[in-house]
Amino acid sequence: MYGFSRAIYRELADEIIEDPSRGAPVNHERVLRACESALERLATDRHYFARPARTLFNDIRIYFPMSSQLRVLHVIQRYLDLADEFLTRLPQNGLDAYGNPLQCRASTRRGTPCQRMPLPHNGYCPSHQHLAKTEELEAPLAA
């Protein structure tokens, strides 16, 4: 994920507006940190990160001139689509992109996260499969 965030930053770095009164390139660092946090969230919480490109664009668009914002959006969309494709191709061996064990997306009755291993196609363990069906029914209603 590090490579994707750095690629976004490198492609957009020339267009970042800096405040001349500050000595250090503060806006460059903010753009880089926003790219890194968006891609980390995409890698660790894909099911609950509905529109990562829009979120990242809204976070960093204030650091670019109005004339280059369409290009910024296209760059973000392209790299986040590539990152999403990369994550879907990762082998499902019970680990996420960072090597951490996967956990079910559901919560227990006590409110603690379910500790069981999720199935690869929806992120829920066999005990919580009924929640995935509920999401499928709510998706057309939300659109």
Q: How far is it, in rounded angstroms, from Cα 108 to Cα 99? A: 24
- Under 8 Å CB-to-CB from 64, ≥6 apart: which residues? 12, 15, 16, 17, 72
Compute the distance between CA of residue 114 and CA of residue 106 in angstroms, rounded to an integer.
Answer: 6
Question: In the prediction, which pLDDT does 132 show?
Answer: 74
55-92 pLDDT, tens per residue?
999 999 999 999 999 999 999 999 999 998 888 887 66
pLDDT tens column, 16-30? 988 777 667 789 999
Domain boundaries, the chain: 2-89
> Above 90 in pLDDT, residue 2?
no
